[in-house]
Amino acid sequence: MKIGFIGLGIMGAPMARNLAEAGYSLVVFNRTRERAEAFLSSLPQADVTVAATPAEVAATSDLVIIIVKDTEAVREVVLGEEGVLAGGRPGQVVVDMSTIAPAAEQEMAVRLQERGMTLLDAPVSGGDVGAKEGTLAIMVGGPESALRSILPVLQRMGKTITYCGPVGCGQLTKLCNQILVSVTLLGVSEAVAMARRCNLDAERMIEAVRGGAAGSWQLANLGPRILSKDFAPGFMVELMQKDLKLVLEAADQHGAVLPATSMVHQFFNAAENRGWGREGTQVLARVIAQLCNLE
């Protein structure tokens, strides 16, 4: 099976590499062609070719995977003049693994369906480490039969692959994921700020509570980084902001009321104001610390 792979960024490149190393033939496209050439030369043993357009990718592959920056980038790749739709054919499955607006996936699914093509939305979580190690969580929306047909491919990139419902539901699940991640992190930030204002040993505090009802991935993994003032990005503030904008946009469309998520978005705005957009999301704790006059 020949896989078309569009987008060789910080997530896409290691994901495509895992497919190549599993023995799949790849035809790749990246808007900045140099990245595609660099990917090609990093895998001299593999069967990888570089295409000039997304249309060419679609025309020369059995399955097309897309992971690019945002809704507009996906639209251009799929619906653009030289896009996947222009080069694709009936029966072909397109998997969009970018995190974008759920409504956009639904619109594109309709356009692709008119040509007999099937769109799955399959955003991921787990960051670049998960991408490298092939341990991503993949949340899939679209026809379940299409998912079944490409499951072995997804299993090369992810560990937990969950079918979430019709097209768009993968994105909606990812948005719920980002609500949980960011509000939990705000709780961690406030608990650490409270501990520090009270002259409590914050490390002991985390140790004392992390095994119980207060426990979370955010506390266990980002708590210690906050304490050692390590703000290097696992996941960057500006990417979280992009996702939270999608969350709040979808909330407006669907009538969801999200007071805490909305508040987190505002505090990340404060982080961006301070020039911390490319820091890790745990820098949220620094915003709260400054409110507490802690630095």
CB of 143 closer than 8 Å to CB of 105: no
| Cα–Cα distance measured from residue 247 to residue 245, given in angstroms and rounded to the nearest whole number | 5
Question: Is-contact 62 118, C-beta < 8 A?
Answer: no
Per CB under 8 A, does 10 bind a second copy?
no
Contacts 24+ apart (CB under 8 A), 8-13: 8/35, 8/36, 8/39, 9/35, 9/67, 9/68, 9/69, 10/128, 10/131, 11/67, 11/97, 11/124, 11/128, 11/131, 12/67, 12/68, 13/39
Binding segment for a second copy (CB under 8 A), chosen from 37-45, 58-66, 104-112, 173-181, is 173-181
In the complex with a second copy, the residue whose CB is nearer, 15 or 247, is: 247
151 binds a second copy (CB under 8 A): no
Total chain residues near a second copy (CB under 8 A): 71
- Which entry of 2, 174, 229, 242 is annotated as an active-site residue? 174
Q: Which of 16, 108, 205, 239 binds a second copy (CB under 8 A)?
A: 205
Which residues lie below 8 Å from residue 150, measured CB to CB, with a gap of 6+? Answer: 63, 93, 95, 120
x-or-dash pattern for a second copy, window 219-258, by CB under 8 A?
x-x-------------x-----------x--xx--xxxxx
CB of 268 to a second copy, least distance (A): 13
Residue 63: strand, helix, or coil? strand
Residue with tokens 């426990």: 215
CA distance 27 to 9: 15
Neighbours of 151 (CB within 10 A): 13
Report in angstroms how near the CB of residue 170 gets to a second copy at its nearest: 9
Q: Does 293 bind a second copy (CB under 8 A)?
A: yes
Q: Site for a second copy (CB under 8 A): which residue of 80, 143, 187, 224?
A: 187
Q: What is the maximal distance between C-alpha atoms in the chain?
A: 65
Torsion angle defined by CA atoms of residues 78, 14, 223 and 229, in that order, rounded to the nearest 10 degrees: -100
273 binds a second copy (CB under 8 A): no
Q: Which lies closer to a second copy via its Cβ, residue 61 or residue 261?
A: 261
Q: Which residues, 80 to 119, sit near a second copy by CB under 8 A?
A: 102
- Non-local (6+) Cβ contacts of 110 within 8 A are none
143 binds a second copy, rule: CB under 8 A: no
Instruction: Enter the tokens of residue 55.
Output: 């249309």
Site stretch for a second copy (CB under 8 A), options 29-37, 40-48, 216-224, 270-278? 216-224
Among 43, 216, 242, 270, the residue binding a second copy under the rule CB under 8 A is 216
Least distance CB 141 / a second copy (angstroms): 9
Concerning whether 174 is annotated as a catalytic residue, the answer is yes
The region of 54-62, 81-89, 192-200, 268-276 touching a second copy under the rule CB under 8 A is 192-200
- Given candidates 204, 229, 245, 273, which one binds a second copy under the rule CB under 8 A? 204
List 211, 228, 275, 295, residue binding a second copy (CB under 8 A): 211
What residues are annotated to the active site? Answer: 174
